[in-house]
Structure 1
Amino acid sequence: MRGASWLFVVLSAVLCGSAEETSRVDDEKNVTVPGLLTKYGYPVETYEVTTEDGYVLTMFRIPYGKKSPLTEGERRPAVLLQHGLMNSADDWLIIGPDRALGYILADAGYDVWLGNIRGNWYSQKHQDYSPKKDKFWKFSWHEHGIYDMPAQIDHVLNATGHKQIFYIGHSMGTTMFYVGMSLKHDYNEKIRAMFSLAPIAFMNHMKSPLFRILAPLTSVVQFVAAEVVRLRPYTIIVRSRMASSKSLTDDEMERIVNDPPFLQSDEETTADEDEFILSDDDSTSEATSESSCEESDEEACHFRQYNYGILKNFKRYGKATPPDYNLANVTAPVYLFYGPNDWLAGPTDIDRLHNQLGNSKEKNKIEFPKFNHLDFIYGRDAYDFVYKPVLDLMNSYEKGTI
C-alpha cells in the first residue's frame, strides 16, 4: 500500500458511505429531471450542448409552469440555473413543487433552463474520448467557467432569441461564473443579473474542519487523486414523497448531515415531509477538488487558476504561481446571498468578494442563524429567505424599476 493510501481510505469513508446505503438507493436512480418534471405535470425539453473543447453537456428546459400556461406567441424572460460541485440539475427540483426553485420560477412566468457541468451524470460525453479514460477528467472549475458556462449561455440565447438572460448559481455554480466573466468579458453583456447563492471564491475564513485539515495536504491529495482519477462522492439528495416510499430515521439523518464535508451541524434542513436518500449520481474531477482545497490556504489565499506546480506553471503561465482571476472584470450585476452558518462561505470572505467584484449590487445575509450551505437548495425555508427575494429582484428588472 502506498504512503498516501490511508488518506484515500479516510476520504472514501467520509464521502462514499456504506454498501447498505448504496443498496437503499438502487431503485431511486431512475428518478431524473425529466422524470420528476413529468411526474409533477410540468413540461420538459432536453438538449445537448457541445463546448468549444468537445464536451457534450445535457441541458433541461421548463418552458412554462403549471400555474402559468404559455400563451401563443409569448416569449418569456429566460433564466439559467447552475448547480454546485458534485451535484446536477436535480438540485433545483428535488424538494418538489412550490418549494424547489425550478418549479417556482416556471410558475412565476419564466423560461427556466437547468445547466449541467462536464463530468456530472448528465454530462459524461465527449466528441473524441470516453469518460472511462483519464483524459476525460482533466479539468477544473477553470474549464467549467471558460467552456461550460459560455456554451450554455449561448445555447439559451440562441434558443430564445434574447440578448440577455438571468443567471442563478449555487456554490461552484457561482465560482464558474466569476471565472468565466473575468476572462471572457463580452459575456457580462449577456447577463441581466446574476444571483449568487452561497458564493464561493475566497475560502480562507471557512469553518469546515475537514477542509481545514486537508488544506496543508494539497500535494498528498493530488497524489491520491492521480490514482483515483474520478471521485464519485455520495451527496445528499432530497426527494419529495412521490419520488420514494423510503425515509431515514432521525438518527440516520443526523449522522448524514454531520458527516459529509459539504455539510455541517445545526442544519436548518429537516426531514419533516421529505425523503432523504444518498446517491452517487454525480462525479467530479480531481482537479476541481484540488482547487477547492488549495483555495482554503489561509497563508496565501487567492482566487486563481489551477496550480500545476512550479515547472508546469512556468510552462503554462510564464511564472511560478498561477494568475489570479480579476474580479473587477465581472461587470454583470451580481447579488450575493450568504448564510450565517455556512462553513464554506464565511462572512469575511463574502465581504472580500463583494468589494472586488466589478458590479456587486447587494450583499444579503440570510436572517436565520442556522442557515447553511445546502439550505439554499434543500432548506424548508429557502423560499422565504432566498427564493422570494430573488424573484422580487427579477420581477423588478422585468418591470424596469431596477
Structure 2
Amino acid sequence: MGVRKLLRFLWVISVVLLIEAFSGSGSVRLKSVAMNPPPLGICASSVRKHGYKCEEVDVTTEDGYILSVQRIPVGRGGAVGGGRKRQPVLLQHGVLVDGMTWLLNPPEQSLALILADNGYDVWIANTRGTSFSRRHVSLDPDRPEFWDWTWDEIVSRDLPAVIAFISQQTSQKIHYVGHSLGTLIALASLSEGKQLDKLKSAALLSPIAYLSHMTTALGVLAAKVFVGEITIVFGLAEFNPKGEDVSRFLKGLCSDPKVDCYDLMSALTGKNCCLNASTVDVFLRNEPQSTSTKNLVHLAQTVRDGVLAKYDYGNPAFNMEHYGQPRPPIYNISNIPRNFPLFMSYGGQDALSDPKDVATLLDDLKLHEEGKLSVQYIKDYAHADFIMGVTAKDVVYDKIISFFRRNQ
C-alpha cells in the first residue's frame, strides 16, 4: 500500500470510528474535543447532584484491568419499590465514549436515572482505556502493552468481570442494556453461550453486528481498504481522539473540499432528530475517550469482511498460533438460545446501524421463540438519538421498562 493511500485511509478510519465520539449536532467543530472529563468521577459529577445515591466501584478483570463501575441503587429519594429487592440492570456504552453517555440529559430524560426511579438497581460500566478505567494492576497506560486488546477482550474479560461482580453483590440475574458497540459485545458473548446463567434479558439500542450497508461514502471507502498496517507502520497503540496524531488525520480529511466537517456526524451517523444543544455541550466536555488502535482495526475488519469474527492477525500462520485455524473464528449469532429474551430498537435514519444490516441480524434470529424477541423500528431516529434524544424516554425507554417487566 502506498504511503499516500495509507495516510488517507487513516484519516478516514479516524473519522468513521469517531462516530460515537462526535454524535451530535450539525455544528460540531474540531476544537470542541480538546475538553477534559470531570475530575471528580461520574457519581459526583453526574448523579449525586440530582439527588440520587451513587457508589463508585472498582472491578478487576482476569487480565488485570481495573474497571470503574457506578451503582445507583435506588431512585431519587428512594422512590418506587419500597423495601423490595431491586432487579439489577447493567448499562454498557459504545466505542470512544464511557458510562457518562447514559447521564447527559436531565434525570427525566436519562436512561440510568429513569431506570433507578422505576425501581431498578442500576449499574454503569466503563470499558478499559476510558478515563476512569485507565488503570491496570501492573501495566502503564503510557506503554503500548496496556493497549494490546480489541473488543474480543471486552467480550471475554471486561463483560464477565462486571457481570460476575454484580451477580455476587445482588444474588440476582441481570437485565442488560447496550448501545452500538455495547450491543455487539453482548451478541458475541451470547452467541458463545456465555453469561446466560447470569443475564435475564438484553435490550440492544442501535444494534451492531453487520456493517455492510453503512450509508456513507467514508464508511464504504474504509471498508474497502486493508487495515492491518496501521499499528505496524505507525505504532499507534493508544487511539486518543484528543491527541495530535488523530487531530492531524482529521484536519487532513477536512481539507478535502468534499468533506463538510461542520455537518460531519449527519453524514456519518445519519441525521439525529432529537438532540438539544445543551446535551451536546455536556457530551463534548467529557467525550471522546481513548480506545486501542487495535480495537478500531478490529471494527474496521468487521466492516471490510462482512462477518462478525474474532480479530484477524493478518496471515494464516498468526491466526493458527492464536486460534488453531487459518481464519479467525466466527461469532455465530444464530447460536443465541431461542428462548433468551431480546429487545432491539433501531432507527430509519441511522447510517451506522443501517436498517438493512439490522435486517441481516434479525434473520439470524428468525427462529427465536415467539414472544422472546421484541423489535422496535423508529423511522426518524439516528445513532445518537437512542442515548441522547430528548424524546427517547417516551419513544424507547418506556418500551425497555415494559420489556423488563415482562421478563422479570
The interval holding the TM-score normalised by the smaller chain is 0.7 to 0.9
Residue in 1 that maps onto 2:276: 271
Counterpart pick for 2:104 among 86, 94, 97: 94
Confirm or deny that 1:29 pairs with 2:34: no
Distance in 2, Cα, partners of 1:193 & 1:141 = 21
CA contact (8 A) 2:33 2:288 kept: no
Label 1:13 to 1:71 Cα distance change in 2 as closer, same or farther (>3 A).
closer
Confirm or deny that 1:188 pairs with 2:192: no
Confirm or deny that 1:203 pairs with 2:214: no
Aligned-pair CA distance for 1:200: 0.6
Higher relative contact order (CA 8 A, sep 6+): 2
Residue in 2 that maps onto 1:243: none
Unaligned stretches of 5+ residues in structure 2: 23-27, 243-259
Report the AA paired with residue 293 of structure 1.
Answer: A
CA contact (8 A) 1:86 1:284 kept: yes
CA contact (8 A) 1:65 1:108 kept: yes
Distance in 2, Cα, partners of 1:261 & 1:289 = 21
Confirm or deny that 1:233 pairs with 2:238: no
Aligned-pair CA distance for 1:172: 0.6
Distance in 2, Cα, partners of 1:12 & 1:308 = 20
Residue in 2 that maps onto 1:46: 56
Q: Secondary structure at the match of 1:59?
A: strand
Report the AA paired with residue 169 of structure 1.
Answer: G
Aligned-pair CA distance for 1:259: 1.4
Residue in 2 that maps onto 1:222: 230
Aligned-pair CA distance for 1:363: 4.9
Residue in 2 that maps onto 1:104: 114
Aligned-pair CA distance for 1:9: 5.3
Q: Secondary structure at the match of 1:313?
A: helix
Counterpart pick for 1:318 among 309, 315, 324: 324
CA contact (8 A) 1:221 1:290 kept: no
Report the AA paired with residue 112 of structure 2.
Answer: G
Counterpart pick for 1:327 among 330, 333, 343: 333
Report the AA paired with residue 314 of structure 1.
Answer: M
Unaligned stretches of 5+ residues in structure 1: 235-254
Residue in 1 that maps onto 2:130: 120
CA contact (8 A) 2:94 2:182 kept: yes
Distance in 2, Cα, partners of 1:257 & 1:223 = 29
Report the AA paired with residue 123 of structure 1.
Answer: S
Report the AA paired with residue 165 of structure 2.
Answer: H
Residue in 2 that maps onto 1:239: none
Distance in 2, Cα, partners of 1:88 & 1:7 = 26
1:128-147 matches, within 5 Å, as 128-147=138-157
Distance in 2, Cα, partners of 1:71 & 1:266 = 38
Q: Tell which deviates more after alignment, 389-398 or 350-359.
A: 350-359
Label 1:196 to 1:262 Cα distance change in 2 as closer, same or farther (>3 A).
farther
Distance in 2, Cα, partners of 1:90 & 1:262 = 24
Distance in 2, Cα, partners of 1:181 & 1:101 = 23
Residue in 2 that maps onto 1:249: none
Counterpart pick for 1:284 among 278, 281, 291: 291
Label 1:201 to 1:257 Cα distance change in 2 as closer, same or farther (>3 A).
farther
Aligned-pair CA distance for 1:31: 6.6
Distance in 2, Cα, partners of 1:392 & 1:262 = 33
Confirm or deny that 1:354 pairs with 2:359: no
Aligned-pair CA distance for 1:274: 3.9
* TM-score, structure 1 normalization: 0.83
Aligned length: 371
Q: Tell which deviates more after alignment, 278-287 or 11-20.
A: 11-20
Q: Indicate the RMSD between aligned Cα atoms, in angstroms.
A: 2.8
* TM-score, structure 2 normalization: 0.82
**Cα deviation per residue 1:234-264 (whole Å; 9 max; x = unaligned)?**
6xxxxxxxxxxxxxxxxxxxx7773149943
Residue in 2 that maps onto 1:309: 314
Residue in 2 that maps onto 1:366: 377
Distance in 1, Cα, partners of 2:33 & 2:271 = 26
CA contact (8 A) 2:80 2:118 kept: no
